[in-house]
Amino acid sequence: MTETSITLTLNGKKKTLRVRPNELLLNVLRDRLFLTGAKYGCGIGECGACTVLIDGRPALACLTLAVAIDGKEVVTVEGLARGDELDPLQEAFLDHGAVQCGFCTPGMIMTARSLLDENPSPSEEEVREYIRGNICRCTGYTSIVSAILSCAQEKEGA
């Protein structure tokens, strides 16, 4: 296998790395860059714990080849806060008791971030459909859905 040099923007900073073709983005983030927010949950795209944003949209790092993100922009949960200022979603998760064991939380927040970027005023049903690929075994989802909805803008005319 041939190692390749890739350059990406990671949480706002340019990063150049040499990777083997079969290295997964998730393992590069965790094992090489020590960004351990994205988690291994199932390895096959069924649980959402490894969700990161690639070019602004949610993607599963456990199924993404690191070599294939050359030139792209990746944001992980560690890159969501602006300095000491948490993202409103992070604040909302804290205020709504949406965190229990916390293992699904980073992936859940990244998915929710993408939802609100796409659709700033989703309905409850739209929130549920959007996060249906992110499994939470603790909360039963209600507190998570409430947290996300609390960050939604009021629909115009509503």
Partner 1 sequence: METRQFEVAGRRARRKDGIAKVTGREIYSSDVYLPGMMHAVVLRSPHPHAEIVDVDVSEAERMGAVCLTPFDVPDTVYNERTVSIPEKTYRDRTVLPKKVRHVGEAVLAVAHDTEELAMLALSKVKVQYKELPSALDVKDAMVEARGARLYDTVFLGGECIQVKNNIACERSIAVGDVEDGFRQADITVESEFEAQRMYHAQMETKAAVCAPEPDGGITVWTTTQTIHNVRQLLGQIFSLPLHKVNVKRIALGGAFGSSIQMNSITPICVGLALRAKRPVKLVTSREEDMYDHVKYPVRFWLKFGAKKDGRLVAAHMKALVDIGAHNIQAYPLLGCIAGWFASLYKFQNLLFEGRAVYTNKVPACAMQGYGNPQTNFAVESLMDMLAEELGIDPIQLRLMNYVGVGDEFWGQGPTVRSIIKSCGVEEMLSRGAAMIGWDRRVHPSQKSGDVVRGIGVARGFHTSGTGGPKPGEVIDYSSATIKVNEDGSVDLITPVMDQGGGTWEAAAKVVAEVLKVPLDMVGISPSDTRTTGYDVCTHATRGVYCGVGAVHHVAEQVRQKILEFAARILEQNPRDLSLARNEEIGQAVIYPTGLPDRYITLGEVAKTAQIKSWGTIAATDSYRQKNCPPCFVTHFVEVEVEKRTGRVRIVRAALLGDCGTPINPDMVKGQLIGGLCRGLAFALLEETAYDSNTGRLVCGGYLTDYKLPTACEMPAIDDIMVGFANTYEPSGPLGAKGIGEAALNSAASAIVNAIYNATGIRFKKLPVTPERVLEALREGVAR
Partner 2 sequence: MNAQNQTNTRLLLPEFEYLRPETKAEALHFLDQHRDKNVHILAGGTDLIVKMKTGALSPRYLVNVKDIKELSGVRQINGALHIGAVTTLAALLRLPAIRSGYSALYEALRSMAAPAVRNMATVGGNLCNGSPAADTAPALMVLGTVCTLSSVAGERRLKLCDFFLGPGRTALLPGEMLTELLVDGVRPDSGSSFLKIGRVSADIAKVNIAVYLERDGDRVADCRVAVGSVAPTPLLLDSVVSFLKGSTMSRQVLSEAGRMVEDAIAPITDARSTAEYRKAISRILAEEAMQAAWVRSGGEVPR
Binding site for partner 1 (CB under 8 A): 30-31, 34-44, 46-47, 49, 76-78, 80-81, 86, 90, 93-97, 99-106, 109, 124-125, 127-129, 131-146, 149
* Binding of partner 2 by 105 (CB under 8 A): no
SS3 128: helix
Minimal distance, residue 5 CB to partner 2, in Å: 12
Distance CA 64, CA 74 (A): 12
The answer to whether the beta carbons of residues 64 and 97 sit under 8 Å apart is no
Closest CB to partner 1 among residues 73, 78: 78
CB 116 within 8 A of CB 61: no
57: contact with partner 2 by CB under 8 A? yes
Residue 158 found at the interface with partner 2 (CB under 8 A): no
* Segment interacting with partner 2 (CB under 8 A) among 79-87, 96-104, 126-134, 136-144: 126-134
HSE, side-chain direction, 13 A CA sphere, residue 130: 27
CA distances from 142 to 29, 38, 157, 158 (A): 30, 22, 26, 23
Residue 19, classed as helix, strand or coil, is strand
At a CB cut-off of 8 Å and minimum separation 6, what does 157 contact? none
Task: Name the minimum Å distance from CB 61 to partner 1.
Answer: 12
Write the CB contacts of 101 (distance below 8 Å, at least 6 apart in sequence).
137, 138
* Position among 5, 15, 18, 21 found at the interface with partner 2 (CB under 8 A): 21
CB 108 within 8 A of CB 131: yes
48 binds partner 2 (CB under 8 A): yes
Q: C-beta of 102: minimal distance to partner 1 in Å?
A: 3
Binding site for partner 2 (CB under 8 A): 1-2, 4, 21-24, 27, 40, 42-45, 48, 51, 54, 57-60, 62-65, 67-68, 70, 111, 114-115, 129-134
